[in-house]
Amino acid sequence: MTETQEAVPMEGIRRAPTAPAVVVHELRKEFRRRDRKQKRRLGKPKRMRVALDGVTFTIERGETVAILGQNGSGKSTLVRLLSTLLLPDGGSAEIFGHDVVSEHRAVRRLVNRVSVEASFFKKMSAAENLSYAARYYGMTSRETRDRIPAILTRVGFPKDRSDESMENLSRGMQQKVALARALLTSPVVLLLDEPTTGLDPRSKLEVQDFIREVRAQHDATILLCTHDLNEAESLADRIGILDRGELLVLEPADELKRRYGATTLEEAFFAATGRTFEDEAAEDENDEEREVFA
Amino acid sequence: MRAMTLALRHELIGLGGVVERNVYLTRRYIWWDVAFFLWTVANTLTIVFIAEGIEATGGSIDVDRTTTQLLIGAVVWAYLGIIFEFITETVAWERWEGTIEYTFMAPLSRAMHLGGSGVFAVLYGLVRAILLFVVVALFFGLSMPDANFFAALVILLIASVSFFGIGMMTAVLPLISPEKGAQLGFIAQGMLLVVSGVYYPVSVLPGWMEWLSKISPATYALRGIRDSILNGAGLSWDNVWPLIVIGVVSIPLGLWVFSRGEIHAKKHGKLKRSG
| A117: nearest CB among B98, B107, B269 | B98
Higher pLDDT, B188 or A34: B188
For the stretch A80-123, pLDDT in tens is 999 999 999 999 999 999 999 999 999 999 999 998 888 899 99
Residues A256-269 have a mean pLDDT of 92
- Residues of chain B in Cβ contact (below 8 Å) with chain A: 3, 6-7, 9-10, 13-14, 16-18, 20-21, 24-25, 28-29, 97-99, 101-109, 263, 266-269, 271-273
Does the pLDDT of residue A280 top 80, yes or no? Answer: no
- Are the Cβ atoms of A136 and B108 closer than 8 angstroms? yes
Structure confidence at residue A291 (pLDDT): 45
Instruction: Find residues 203-242 of chain A whose CB sits inside 8 Å of chain B.
Output: none
For the stretch B129-144, pLDDT in tens is 999 999 999 999 998 8
Structure confidence at residue B95 (pLDDT): 86
- Are the Cβ atoms of A119 and B272 closer than 8 angstroms? no
- Are the Cβ atoms of B102 and A32 closer than 8 angstroms? no
Closest residue on chain A to B269 (Cα): A86
Does the pLDDT of residue A9 top 70, yes or no? Answer: no
Higher pLDDT, A215 or B74: B74
Structure confidence at residue B154 (pLDDT): 95
Higher pLDDT, A112 or B275: A112
Does the pLDDT of residue A13 top 90, yes or no? Answer: no
Does the pLDDT of residue B111 top 90, yes or no? Answer: yes
Of A38-42, A178-182, B244-248, B260-264, least confident by mean pLDDT is A38-42
Closest residue on chain A to B268 (Cα): A31
Structure confidence at residue B249 (pLDDT): 95
Mean pLDDT, chain B, rounded, equals 90
Closest residue on chain B to A83 (Cα): B105
Q: What is the 3-state secondary structure (H, E, C) of B245-268?
A: HHHHHHHHHHHHHHHHHHHHHHHH
Q: What is the ipTM of this complex?
A: 0.86
The overall pTM is greater than 0.95: no
